[in-house]
Amino acid sequence: MSASSDSASSHLDRRTFLKGASTLGLGVALNSSALISGESPAAKPRRRRYAIVGNGSRSVMYQTAIEKDFRDHAELVALCDLNPGRLALAQARSQQLGGTPPPTFIAADFERMIATTKPDFVIVTTIDGTHDDYIVRAMDAGCDVISEKPLTTTPEKCRRIVDARRRTGRTCRVTFNLRYSPPCTQVKELLMSGEIGDILSVDLHWMLNTRHGADYFRRWHGHKENSGGLMVHKATHHFDLVNWWLGAVPESVFATGKRDFYTPKMARRMGLSGPQERCRTCPESSRCTFYIDLAKDPTLKALYLDHEKHDGYFRDRCIFRPSIDIEDTMNVLVRYQTGTTLAYSLNAFNSWEGYTIAFNGTKGRLEHSIGAPKPGGQPVSGAARIALIPLRGPAREIEPWTGVGSHQGGDKVMLEDLFLPSPAPDKYLRSADERAGAASALIGMAANRCFETGQLVRIKELVPGLSDPTYAPMPSRDAPVPMPGAASA
Ligand SMILES: NC(=O)c1ccc[n+]([C@@H]2O[C@H](COP(=O)([O-])OP(=O)(O)OC[C@H]3O[C@@H](n4cnc5c(N)ncnc54)[C@H](O)[C@@H]3O)[C@@H](O)[C@H]2O)c1
């Protein structure tokens, strides 16, 4: 992503914003009661102060939580981005949510933002390759951090974060929302119960379809410098789930990866003349089923198309272009310190989207999946299945826990854990910090290194001296195991 607007310093104060918003035709009306707090400071406990850096798609969830759902406990005090257009949009959103539009700061003014608006927390929702920069700068300026996944994209950046955390004593939370999705939490509950004993191996296969999967190749994610590739950007979710499900720390990684579908050659094999720059100017758009029209989608238009002029970021780049340097086909073997092994695959060009996982335990097997191909019909996205199969005995289908909203309802539960002043105690220990962020992202980084060298990679060699994450207690690997099928078993 280009940083062309970096020098155009623009601390948009409220007056500038209102002027700008009306120029943009956002129809913002000055509501004096919204601008003047009538509450006595003693009437309520002080609300926590948040600043958001990176005001793209994902930030909307946090902004809505702070300014709407958790407004009694939280206050949005500043917005920061490279792109002044998206900053103005976020201010307008603030008004729509009933908040007081906070001041905005262009990225170069990040430290000034912290000094003048004094946030307790900085929420980092910039592109992945820049997380470390804002995490470290926020901690050095005395703030705690909430970072989107992945924690970061390279071992060097990971070391910077770990050092800053130790140096400053600040906290860094990493928002692994999938831990909170009801069926994923239910799997954790079943594994903790010991019903299938302790886990010796895991098979996880993750599928992205040719709509969602292709999107990663259009956007900034298509370059490892920005995203760490799908091994880091996407698989950090999956590796974190397995780490947390097992309550185990990864030790070594072996992997192969390639780009075999989203390639210039595939464009030609599909009958196109070859890759183009972007959908918007593509002469073959009528023959390409990957074509998207940013102008026709109000959300994409408002977030990206309307603000291209500020940073040169095209949200509709050709998915077949040669400069892409991330993989679409990846196979990984992970060995944990406990001895448990994981076989994982990620394919970004599948006919259905979701995953299948099997935990092979000393007393049986747990099978779980999200999404399913439906014979004769469209695949059912999001449909959850959980089954327990003892070593010798009938399989048992388990009714999956359900939730409402994005990520099977996981985002909602996570936001409560994040923004309520006294969240409920959590026996699953779903709240994650930089140690868990590192443990999962480093598997992806190790896989990336393995793609280049063909050699097994030890996690400890990437970032020496890492502390282990804290996990809930899991079944012992030394406890007696019943004889399979014996009467007393
Ligand atoms: N947990 C989840 O399910 C989930 C889902 C989507 C995205 N994410 C994560 O959220 C983050 C943001 O993703 P997104 O989809 O919102 O991307 P996006 O492209 O919509 O938004 C990124 C924003 O960051 C800004 N930005 C880029 N570089 C910057 C810099 N150096 N300084 C300041 N601002 C900068 C961009 O201008 C843009 O506004 C990523 O880390 C992504 O991995 C997580």
Report the nearest atom of ligand 1 relative to the CA of 130: 31
Q: Which atom of ligand 1 is nearest to the CA of 176?
A: 1
Q: Over the stretch 194-234, which tens digit does the pLDDT of each residue have?
A: 999 999 999 999 999 999 999 999 999 999 999 999 999 99
Same domain, 356 and 242: yes
- What phi and psi, each to the nearest 5 degrees, are found at residue 164? -65, -40
Instruction: Please tell me whether residues 369 and 280 are part of one structural domain.
Output: no
Asked if residue 440 belongs to a domain, the reply is yes
> Residue 43: its pLDDT value, please?
60
Q: What CATH number is given to the structural domain containing 116?
A: 3.40.50.720
Taking the C-alpha atoms of residue 53 and residue 308, their distance in angstroms, rounded to an integer, is 19
d(CA 301, CA 409): 27
On whether residue 478 sits in a domain, the answer given is no
Ligand 1 geometric centre to CA of 54 (Å)? 6
Each residue's pLDDT tens digit in the chain (489 positions)?
Answer: 433 333 333 333 333 333 333 333 333 333 333 333 344 545 667 999 999 999 999 999 999 999 999 999 999 999 999 999 999 999 999 999 998 999 999 999 999 999 999 999 999 999 999 999 999 999 999 999 999 999 999 999 999 999 999 999 999 999 999 999 999 999 999 999 999 999 999 999 999 999 999 999 999 999 999 999 999 999 999 999 999 999 999 999 999 999 999 999 999 999 999 999 999 999 999 999 999 999 999 999 999 999 999 999 999 999 999 999 999 999 999 999 999 999 999 999 999 999 999 999 999 999 999 998 777 777 676 789 999 999 999 999 999 998 888 877 888 899 999 999 999 999 999 999 999 999 999 999 999 999 999 999 999 999 999 999 999 999 999 999 999 988 765
Please check whether residue 316 lies inside any domain of the structure.
no
CA of residue 232 to ligand 1 center, whole Å: 14
Element (H, E) at 263: none
Whether 328 and 433 share a structural domain: yes
The residue whose C-alpha atom lies closest to atom 31 belonging to ligand 1 is 130
Centre of ligand 1 to C-alpha 424, Å, is: 29
| Protein residue with least CA distance to atom 5, ligand 1 | 58
Model pLDDT, residue 36: 34
Q: Which tens digit of pLDDT belongs to each residue from 316-354?
A: 999 999 999 999 999 999 999 999 999 999 999 999 999
Residue 398 sits in a domain whose CATH number is 3.30.360.10
Residue 328 lies in a domain: yes
pLDDT the model gives residue 152: 98
Range of the domain at 89: 14-35+42-126
Whether residue 367 lies inside any domain: the answer is: yes
436 in the same domain as 384: yes
Taking the C-alpha atoms of residue 144 and residue 154, their distance in angstroms, rounded to an integer, is 22
- 330 domain residue, yes or no: yes
What's the gap in Å between 267 CA and the centre of ligand 1?
28
* Strand order, beta sheet including 104-106: 104-106, 74-81, 48-53, 121-124, 144-148, 172-175, 432-433
Residue 141 falls within a domain, yes or no?
Answer: no
Beta bridge partners of 253: 334, 457
Measured in angstroms, how far is the CA atom of residue 42 from the centroid of ligand 1?
Answer: 37
- Name the residue with the closest Cα to ligand 1, atom 9: 148
What are the pLDDT digits (tens) for 110-143?
A: 999 999 999 999 999 999 999 999 999 999 999 9
401 with 376, same domain: the answer is yes
CA of 324 to the centre of ligand 1 (A): 19
Nearest CA to ligand 1 atom 6: 58
**Is the omega angle on the peptide bond into residue 150 within 30 degrees of 0, that is, cis?**
yes
- Structural domain count of the chain: 3
**The tokens 């949200």 sit on which residue?**
315
Candidates 211, 290, 280, 204; CA nearest to 242 is: 204
Residues with CB under 6 A from ligand 1: 1, 53-59, 81-83, 86, 107, 125-128, 130, 148-149, 177, 220, 233
Same domain, 202 and 221: yes
> Which residue's alpha carbon is nearest to atom 19 within ligand 1?
56
CA 125 to ligand 1 center in whole angstroms: 5
DSSP 394-440: --EEEPPP---STGGGHHHHHHHHHHSSSPPP-TT---EEHHHHHHH
In a domain, 477, yes or no: no
Are residues 279 and 237 part of one domain? no
Q: Ligand 1, residue 220: give the atom nearest the CA.
A: 19
Taking the centre of ligand 1 as the mean of its atom positions, its distance from the CA of residue 57, in whole angstroms, is 7
- Can you give the pLDDT at residue 28? 31
Report which protein residue has its CA nearest ligand 1's atom 3: 177
197 and 332 in a single domain? The answer is yes
Residue 162 and residue 112: Cα distance in Å, rounded? 24
Are 404 and 456 within one domain?
Answer: yes
State residue 387's pLDDT score.
Answer: 98
Q: Determine which residue's CA is closest to atom 40 belonging to ligand 1.
A: 127
If asked whether residues 207 and 91 sit together in one domain, one would say: no
274 backbone φψ class: left, alpha, beta (φ>0; ψ -120 to 50): left
Q: Are residues 275 and 254 in the same domain?
A: no
